[in-house]
Structures are given as structure tokens and as C-alpha cells.
Amino acid sequence: METLMTAQTIPTQPFDGQKPGTSGLRARTRVFMQPRYLENFVQSVFDTVGPLDGKTLTLGGDGRFFNDRAIQTILRMAAANGAARVLVGRDGLLSTPAASAVIRHRKTDGGLILSASHNPGGEDGDFGIKYNIPAGGPAPESITGAIHARTAEITEYRIVDGPDVDLSVEGESVLGGMVVEVIDPVAIYAELMGSLFDFDAIRLLFADGFRMRFDAMHAVTGPYAKTILEDQLGAEPGTVVNAEPLPDFGGGHPDPNPVYAAALMAEMFSDGAPDFGAASDGDGDRNMIVGRHTYVTPSDSLAVLAANAHLAPGYASGIAGVARSMPTSRAADRVAAKLGVEAFATPTGWKFFGTLLDAGRVTICGEESAGTGSSHVREKDGLWAVLLWLNVLAAKKMSVAGVMAEHWATYGRDYYSRHDYEEVDKAAAETLMDDLRAALGDLPGTEIEGLTVTDADDFSYTDPVDGSTVERQGIRIVFGEAARGVLRLSGTGTVGATLRVYLERYEPDPSKQGEDPQQALSQVSAAIQTRAGIAERLGRTEPDVRT
């Protein structure tokens, strides 16, 4: 039924700081709830990528607080700006990888994804929004820069007035002159996963008594995991826990790491642990992989999946290349070298993988922050990584610990850890980084805590496909003892600053690969803390999170 509405033009004034970060615009939920804040940013997106006349968009989010109200606002604004159709997930839900899949499968003119990813939700939590291009991936720097410029000069936004659209039932309705098509948020994604993996082999794995626990963390992946793991693959009921998406993620922090998924870690390291454990984050694009008494770092997971992707039908012909974010360990580079394919190190942010994927230069991509994905979509994809791991375990008939031991024996082990200093004073953190940059030229040849610096720089990147360049992407300090440390300020927080310190040391000898990672990295950690002066400058003697 058509709802007749009149488009209105509403005067507005710019808000400071509406600059998209590595994953769109993020701020406290209450900031987004201010009158005109969301509207200003959405209109700036439409002004930048428009005109919308005759275009089709994809829209959905992770279900966090304010998701439902924001979607109704965006629908009314899309109608007022002339869009022909908007595909929206039932109840306003779409995981980030599923949104990318819908954009690509239905060939829409891009879309808007509402999420602050792994950040906490609720009225006192965080909210976010980003624009994805028609290829399905996050907008590149050229577009996000133009959106930011537009937010600084916006004077009006357009919106139609009227009742909410019923998003609880699949089907079509008309809002003004625009069709709103409510779609099953799981169907297109589940079909895509079935085309990539050997579901029959995974079904046999579960039928033979293989036990698994998947913690959806009361986030958006719950319905996807239950449909695929329990309904389609035959995992026993209850395999997926915390499966219902909640606006505040059940009061938890939807970041799949050993700290915030502590219950899963406890179960996986208990006497009666399942064979395999996994978790995903707020919007479904990150993952954590755990075997029985075996934690797999995201860097190692990327390397293992790249080395074994050929075991899944969708990658049987091999991979074109591997890309990792610069702070991610160099384990994936060793796999690429052995396979004879290209390896790339990019700045942090999934958008930097997009041109490489579109050009066919890489097939598998990953970030140390628990994001892994492939050319099937243009986002990282938590459940995809879990399914590829299941496919590998089914094909190799090995435990997670066995797969890791085999991998390290073949490629060597890159001991790796990330130390996060959260909500530190922003000015102090920026001064710390600036002082390090100023000293980079003097570091090579110096000794710090018994380690010798061989190279030090501030990472810059020139895209090999489109030639675009970005600078100041993280400070790298390389030591002669097959080790390195990386420091960068995170672009995903909303309060203060988060200093991330990445520690890495390579061990090729299998007899020395069983050490506790924090112990193996203690000398590297001490060297970085000493040189950066973290305790003196930030008042922190220990990180808030180690992963």
C-alpha cells in the first residue's frame, strides 16, 4: 500500500567532528540521538554519492540501541532524496558481511550499515554508521573525505513526514514514491556460504560427535549462526549461545577476544571442553577461534586459512594472493611465499583491501583485530572464518591444536600479541607518537633492553591498483632478533584515545614453539615500553587488554 507523504526541506547547521574513521562515523549513542546529528551525516552521504534518483540502496544494522529509530529516519530521507528502492533487513537487522553480500547479489547502488562493530551498545554505549559502495565494501578515502567536507558546510536536509514502515514482515511497501523491500536478513548470506564450503563434510563432522560452542554475544550473528550451524549443518541444539540480538548486547562488550568472551574461554579450557569454539562481534564481521585448550591468534588464523583455503570447494583452484593489515603478524607473508602468490601489507581498515580484491590480486584478507575474509564479499566476515575452519578440520581430520602444530612446523611460529591501553589522555598519546616519529631516524643501530634496532619508520602506503597514498599509519620498530613492535592510535574508540602496541617475534625451531606468548614476547614488550615511555607519559604500567 502506498503512503502519500510530502518531502520537507529542513534547515540545519554543521556539527563539528563528523569525520568517518576506519569504519565510518562512530560516536556515543546519545550524540547520534541529538536532533539533526544523524540527519546531517546521512544527507551529506546522499549529497556526496547522489543524486539518488532511480537508485536502489541496501540498509541494515546490528540491532544495537537506536538502530530501529535511525533506520526509520534514513528510509524517510532516502524517499525524500528520490531513491527508487531500499532493501532493508527484517526488523532492521543485517550483519555487516550480509549487507555486503546483499549489495553484491542484488547489485544495489551501495548501502548504509548501522553499527559501532565491537564497541559496547545501549543508550550509554556507542553507535555508528558507514556508507558502502556498489562493490559491497567500505567507501574509500576519496569518498569519506568528500562526505566529511560536506558535513562541514551542510545547510539543509530532506525528509518525508509520516508513520513508520513496518519492518517486521518481509515484503514490499511504498514510502512516498520509494519502494521499501523488507528481506530475510539471513537467506542470501546462507546461500552464499553453502556455495563456498563443503557442507556435507561438515555435517558428517557433527554427525560423528564433533562438539562446538559458538558465542554470538547477544549480537547480530546469532540468527545466522543458528540457521547455518544448527539448522543446516546439524550441530546439536544449544551450540549457539547468547543467540538473541539485544540492543545493549546483554550488557556485555561484543568484542570476540579472550577478555570479553571469558565464559567461552573458560569452557574451552575446561576438562570437558568442546572440540571447537568461536565467537563473533556486534555486527558479525569479527571472529575468535579457539580449540580445546588452544587459543588461535587472529594473525595465526589468517595464515592457517590462507594455507588451507584450497580444502574448501569455493577456493579449490587456489588463491590469488594474501593481504594483511600492517600491524598483523607476518605469518601470512610466509604462507604466500610458499604458495608463490602475492602478499600485501596495507593500512588498518578493511577499505584498503577493496581495490586489491576488485583487481583479483588477492583472495584472502585479514587483520590482527579479529577480522578475516575473502573475495566472496568486501567486508571481513566472522561466520565465514568459522565455517572455513570447520571445513579445514573436516578435511584434515585433525584437532585445532594439531592444525596449529603442523602449521608452525611448516612455516615457523610468529609469537604475537596486541596490548591495548584504552581511554588514555588523547593529547598525551598524540605527543607520545609525535615524539617517537621525531626520533625514528636515530633509532637504527641502537640497543633497547638487549634488542638491536635495525629499522624504524612511520608506515605509509601507496595502493598498487589506484595509486592513492596514505601516511602516518603506524610506527614500526624492527629488531635484528626477528622481532618487531608497532604502535598506533586506534580509530574505533569514542572516548579519549586507545594506544595499540603490537608485539611480534619469529621462532622457526619447532622445539621452541611451545612457550607462553606473553613470556616469549616479554623482551620485545619491555623494549617498546622503555623507548615509548608509556608508563611515564600515559600513567599506565599494564595494558587494559592483551590479545
Q: Which residues are catalytic?
A: 117
Burial (Cβ within 10 Å: 0-12, 13-18, ≥19) of residue 528: buried
332 touches 303 (CB < 8 A): yes
**What value, to the nearest 5°, has the Cα angle with vertex 507 and ends 506 and 510?**
150
37 sits in which H/E element: helix 37-49
Nearest to 251 by CA among 277, 224, 219: 219
b/e map of 463-483 (b: 16 or more CB within 10 Å)? beeeeeeeeebbbbbbbeeeb
Task: List the Cα angle 386/87/224 in 5-degree steps.
Answer: 20
Amino acid type, 250: G
Query: How, if at all, do strands 413-424 and 171-175 pair?
Result: unpaired
Treating both helix axes as pointing N-terminal to C-terminal, what angle do 382-396 and 96-105 enclose, rounded to 10 degrees? 90
CA 44 → CA 9, 21, 83, 348, 493, distances in Å? 14, 15, 15, 25, 22
Q: Which of 277, 259, 257 is nearest to 267 (CA)?
A: 277
Set of cell numbers at residue 86: 531500499
Count of beta carbons in the 10 Å neighbourhood of residue 171: 10
Residue with cell 557433527: 206
Residue ranges in 340-492 assigned as alpha helix (H): 354-358, 382-396, 400-411, 426-439
Buried b (16+ CB within 10 A) or exposed e, 485-509: bbbbbbebbbeebbbbbbbbbbbee
- In the DSSP assignment, the letter for residue 528 is H
Measured between alpha carbons, how far is 442 from 456 in angstroms, rounded to an integer? 9
Query: What is the gyration radius of the CA atoms in the chain, in angstroms?
Result: 23
**CB-count burial class (<10 Å; 0-12, 13-18, 19+) for 211:** middle
Q: What are the strands of the beta sheet with 371-374, ordered from one edge?
A: 342-346, 321-325, 364-367, 371-374
* Interacting residues of 178 by C-beta distance below 8 A, sequence separation 6+: 75, 78, 79, 82, 83, 84, 85, 86
DSSP structural state of residue 407: H
103, burial (CB in 10 Å: exposed 0-12, middle 13-18, buried 19+): buried
Cα–Cα distance measured from residue 159 to residue 176, given in angstroms and rounded to the nearest whole number? 10
